[in-house]
Amino acid sequence: MGSDFVALISQPWHWAVSGVAIALITFFMTWLGRSFGVSTTFRNVCTALGADKVSDFFNVDLKDEAWRMLFVAGAIVGGYIASRYLASPEPVAISQKTIAHLKDWGIIYPEGQGFLPESIFNLGNLKGIVLAIIGGFLVGFGARYGDGCTSGHAITGLSHLQLPSLITVIGFFIGGLLMTHVIMPIIFG
Amino acid sequence: MRNAIFFLIGIFFGIVMTKSEAISWFRIHEMFRFESFHMYGIIGTAVVLGALIVGAMKRFDIRTIDGVSVTYTPMKLSIKRHLLAGSIFGLGWALIGACPGPMYVMLGHGYWIFLVVIASALLGTFTYGLVKDRLPH
């Protein structure tokens, strides 16, 4: 029975199941009296590395943030467990249209599990490293400027019916569409 | 040791992000090209259900584990700031196909390029702390 259960949850999850699972996390975080948001961990790490000495923005009591750091430590372990023991039998089933379009960019799908175009994003590829630096910087900067990322705004903020969160999510899409349809064709096309 | 619970929720989150395929660069790319309903279904379900849960907790005063009513400290509404900040974030999200949660999960999968991504996200965060007074808020 145990192995049946593992086989069952090792299948790719239907979007509705995934959505319910995320809502469950929202419930537990709310019930535990926490405002769920991941990107604040970046600020915490900056503080731990001494950023509070150069900017007041990093003046935070890290003791109050232990829960969040434990959460992301768990997320890393969860990723490891999922990859090691719960891997899907097939790569991610993205749409045929996307596969055909990626071919024009020289990205032949599938690559591995279908989680990352590893031919570009690997530590041996300078272009991939440069893109990782640019992308990471934009996410880190934008998340702090907007005071939240996908978890804080799209999940927590929208669950609390917050207008600033809705505007931020609209911003996520403005930036995402611009990158996907205007900038990436220049980088990869 | 209540904090240990958050470690367990984190593990669950890592598994959910993986099995939902929300950590997939390809899924994010497909989403921004509107070529599948998958990601919209996940986010839509999570938000609608989340709003119902949070709304019910407020409406019926279902309190937190510490007996406190559920509240949310609203952010100051600044359309300019949130559109600008969101757009900057979105540019990065679409490029690397991962927002902060999945960045950690991908690290757990052994995609070591995310060490670079996270280090750079830290630098972006630090930079914001340095220049924030010169940005519109």
One-letter amino acid for residue B132 of the chain: K
Spatial CA neighbour of B107 closest among A79, A134, A84:
A79
Of the candidates A131, A162, A180, A160, which has an alpha carbon nearest to the alpha carbon of residue B87? Answer: A180
Residue recorded with tokens 């390809």: B26
Residues in chain B: 137
- Residue in A169, A30, A97, A129 with CA at minimum distance from that of residue B93: A169
Name the stretches of chain A with pLDDT < 50.
Answer: none
Are A143 and B100 an interchain contact pair (Cβ–Cβ within 8 Å)?
Answer: yes
Average pLDDT over residues B95-112: 98
User: How deeply is A56 buried, as exposed, middle or buried, from its count of CB atoms within 10 A (0-12, 13-18, 19+)?
Assistant: exposed
Q: Rounded to an integer, what distance in angstroms lies between the CA atom of residue A170 and that of residue A164? A: 10
Prior bond to A110 cis, omega within 30?
A: yes
Separation between Cα atoms, residue A146 and residue B43, nearest integer Å:
19
Instruction: Supply the pLDDT for residue A2.
Output: 74
> Chain A: residue nearest B2 by CA?
A67
pLDDT value of position A91: 97
- Give the tens place of pLDDT for each residue, A43-52: 999 999 999 9
Contact list in B for residue A114 (CB cut-off 8 A) is 21, 24, 26
Residues of chain A with C-beta less than 8 angstroms from the C-beta of B103: 136, 139
Tell me the whole-structure pTM to 2 decimals: 0.97
